[in-house]
Structure 1
Amino acid sequence: MSDNISTPDGTGAPANGGLKPMPKVRPITVNDVIDALAAGLADFRKAPVFGLAVGAVFAAGGLFVVLSAAALNMSYLSYPAAAGFVLIGPFAAVGLYEVSRRVQTGEDLSWSAIFGTMWAQKGRELSWMAFVVLFIQIMWMYQVRLLLALFLGFRSFASFEEFLTEVISTPEGLMFLAVGHVVGAILSLILFSLTVISFPLLLEEDRDFITAMITSVRAVATSPVPMIGWAFVVTAVLIVSMAPAFLGLIITLPILGHTTWHLYKKCVEIPKES
């Protein structure tokens, strides 16, 4: 049966109005996540220069955020600011997705090719996903300030040590930590669900960012245990990587980025247009 219908002008427009079919979401298992991680490590070994460069730039950005907070006499915001900065990881890893795609397809690997692909995204839907990430990052910092005001009052701290002492030695500080981490975990899970598939999908396919986010959420909902398990792994790795002045991110960010690409390829199948 034909997918086209007759129109008054006889052009035979597509029955679906020319819309592309939704990407198909496949269920995955924990073993698929492990396989994706192995593939991500392999990509990093094949093209380490690209991964190390992206990781170094990202680590430098995190260090800049923390030092800026200290320079503005707001060192007590260093930890939440650093945690908020890490939320932009999916966007920062776009270049890594392109490296993995080219390794997988055997295409040329060069700085001009990678940067050319990234530059081409400025007029596509992927740039809108950057705004989604930025919005959630702003929400993260807003809730930190709100919780600080609620539990510790409208006050500033002379140093990070003073802030840390207040947080871990008073009931109000401990409550701030508990509630802050719960709210942060919820925001992080929302961001993960919206972006884990959407960024690599938008890089590879010319889709709208709403479709990409819906597909990403569907992928998490279809395989909640392996996907949320991967989210916990990513969170734990990033926390450990930030500890030594963000230097761990130079290695871990590219591995996580390459792995995410292979996870996307396992989760999503793009239907062929008829």
Structure 2
Amino acid sequence: MADIGSNSPVPFKVAGDLTISDLRAALAAGWSDFLAMPQYGLFFGAIFAFAGIALAYATIVLGEVSWLIPAAAGFPLLAPFLAVGLYEVSRRREYGIAVDWPAVLGAIRGRGHDQILSMGVLIFVGFGFWVIIAHLIFSVFLVEAGAGSESLEFLITPMGLAMLAVGSLIGGVIALVFYAVTVISLPMLVDREVDFLTAIFASLRAVSNNSMALLIWAVFIAIIMALAIALAFLGLLIVVPVLGHATWHLYRRTIASTHPSTGQVV
């Protein structure tokens, strides 16, 4: 029998045979979870959508382009941490446990020793690092262009387009690292009593073992998130919860419990 989220550490095995069919199955299961309990998905989706709208508004009104555009571009990096409540909804549905707001909102504590909060610190530090790097890139190109002030118009100049290309390349590398570290680790911390380093190594091993499938999943997430943001951020109301639930099911397909004595999957 698979682990049902007990407080006792259970040995596990990382799958190495994920396929496109598994991605489709996870997405379908995520959609099913969202439709079954939309109040939770819409709650977390609304938080994300509101944050995006607020950042966009601040960028236009305050004119702090060199700080706010990196923040707006990078805030999807925080999605896995904010999605732990969605993982808890899917976990409880799968295991037949009652779902309620205290349990969902309390999922941030994880299954022991505040390991998810420790992961959250790493994620927010990484996010801050990205914002600083992106600000430096913006400032360098602004000086090279001889622009007198920050403005959105700068982005459509040749130098501005070059800046966006460089920033997108560096940002893509950072986003890929975030993805590799969090795609399996955060749902694992919701489900199992493991430390965050064990969860991170499991996530990295999952990406290494299933590089093609999980790279396709990463590209799909990037495209669908970009489309959701393009719809005045309102698409995030649906995209964020469905992807969050789907990630839980992908984690369950990837991490299997093993018998502590024989090492066989159980």
Question: Could you tell me the TM-score, scaled by structure 2's length?
Answer: 0.87
**SS of residue matched to 1:88:** helix
| Deviations, residues 209-249 of structure 1 (Å, cap 9, x unaligned) | 11111110110110111101000000011111111221110
| Deviations, residues 121-153 of structure 1 (Å, cap 9, x unaligned) | 694111111112112211211111111122221
C-alpha distance in structure 2 between counterparts of 1:150 and 1:121, whole Å: 45
Partner of 1:234: 221
Partner of 2:55: 65
Structure 1 residue runs of 5 or longer lacking an equivalent are: 1-18
Identity, % of aligned pairs?
Answer: 37
C-alpha distance in structure 1 between counterparts of 2:139 and 2:150, whole Å: 16
Q: Is the 8 A contact 1:66 1:81 kept in 2?
A: no
Partner of 1:6: none
| Deviations, residues 36-65 of structure 1 (Å, cap 9, x unaligned) | 111111111111111011101111122222
C-alpha distance in structure 2 between counterparts of 1:22 and 1:177, whole Å: 45
Query: Where do 1:108-147 residues align within 5 Å?
Result: 108-119=98-109, 123-147=113-137
Task: Find 1:248's aligned residue among 216, 231, 235.
Answer: 235
**SS of residue matched to 1:87:** helix
Query: Where do 1:33-182 residues align within 5 Å?
Result: 33-75=23-65, 77-119=67-109, 123-153=113-143, 157=149, 159-160=151-152, 162-164=153-155, 168-170=156-158, 172-182=159-169
2:254 aligned with 1:267, yes or no? Answer: yes
C-alpha distance in structure 2 between counterparts of 1:66 and 1:78, whole Å: 8
Which consecutive segments of 4 or more residues in structure 1 shift more than 4 A?
Answer: 19-22, 119-123
| Deviations, residues 41-100 of structure 1 (Å, cap 9, x unaligned) | 111111111101110111112222233344433145444321211110001110000000
C-alpha distance in structure 1 between counterparts of 2:128 and 2:135, whole Å: 11
Task: Find 1:225's aligned residue among 186, 195, 212.
Answer: 212
C-alpha distance in structure 1 between counterparts of 2:30 and 2:260, whole Å: 29
Partner of 2:12: 23
Q: Is the 8 A contact 2:111 2:192 kept in 1?
A: no
Call closer, same or farther: CA 1:219–1:119 in 2, change over 3 Å.
closer
What code does the residue aligned with 2:191 have?
A: E
Call closer, same or farther: CA 1:123–1:70 in 2, change over 3 Å.
farther
Q: CA deviation at 1:173?
A: 2.3
C-alpha distance in structure 2 between counterparts of 1:156 and 1:92, whole Å: 38
Call closer, same or farther: CA 1:156–1:254 in 2, change over 3 Å.
farther
What code does the residue aligned with 1:229 have?
A: I
Structure 2 residue runs of 5 or longer lacking an equivalent are: 1-7, 262-266
Q: CA deviation at 1:270?
A: 3.0
C-alpha distance in structure 1 between counterparts of 2:52 and 2:148, whole Å: 22
**SS of residue matched to 1:269:** strand
Partner of 1:208: 195
Task: Find 2:184's aligned residue among 160, 172, 197.
Answer: 197
Q: Is the 8 A contact 1:121 1:127 kept in 2?
A: no
Q: CA deviation at 1:196?
A: 0.2
C-alpha RMSD over aligned residues: 2.2
